Amino acid sequence: MARKAKHPNFEQMLAALRAHGFEVTPAKDVPEGMLVTMGGAGAVIVPTPGKDSGEGGSALLAVTPGIVVRGEIARLLDRGYQKFIKTPQYELPATATHLHSIHTFTEELNRVTGSLGLYNESLGTTSDLYQYDRVGGREAPEPKAKRPWELAGGQ
């Protein structure tokens, strides 16, 4: 006979995260959100809406995993040639240590919370924003020059 999978409620999930070495604190900007950090990386999780605390409620990511810079979670920006750590005030080049930290944090968070790991995430760190230099700020195309054999009067 197959066993039923136990799905912990939000409070049990937070206790499991604390037991695995994560720091769990209330998030400033997200109502009901909890800031989960470990090893310089962090994310904000919230309880699944519509689930009672007694039911098997899981957590949703309100802020995707990123590096914690001065108490806020920075977004990972991909510009095609390099990845950057971006906050409203700062933009820093991402190092291999940053990317490894985000990737490890995401894997640990998924393992403890029981979330699904996606194939593209298992290959490496995925970015929040993609902004390639060839596309951003592209100028409007110049009008084509008239060719000598084209009639100007429409005849």
Q: How much is the pLDDT for 144?
A: 79
Of the CA atoms within 13 Å of residue 39, those in its CB half-sphere come to 17
Q: What's the pLDDT score for residue 97?
A: 92
Q: Is 95 helix (H, G, I), strand (E, B) or coil?
A: coil
Q: Tokens 């390099």 correspond to what residue?
A: 82
Residue 114 lies in a domain: yes
Distance (Å, rounded) from C-alpha 127 to C-alpha 58? 24
**Segment 52-70 mean pLDDT:** 73
Give the model confidence (pLDDT) of 72-86 as tens digits: 889 888 887 788 898
Which residues span the domain enclosing 44? Answer: 10-71+93-126
What are the φ/ψ torsions at residue 113 (nearest 5 degrees)? Answer: -85, -15
Q: Give a yes or no: residue 44 inside a domain.
A: yes
**Number of structural domains, the chain?**
1
Domain membership of residue 36 (yes or no) is yes
> Which is more confidently placed, 66 or 143?
66
| 23 vs 20: CA distance, rounded Å | 9
Residue 34 has pLDDT above 60, yes or no: yes
What value does the mean pLDDT take over residues 30-39?
Answer: 89
Kindly state the average pLDDT of the residues 119-136.
Answer: 62
| Pairing outcome for strands 75-78 and 129-130 | parallel
Residue 86 lies in a domain: no
Residue 47 confidence (pLDDT): 86
How do beta strands 72-73 and 59-69 pair? antiparallel
- Spatial distance between the Cα atoms of 34 and 11, rounded to a whole number of angstroms: 11
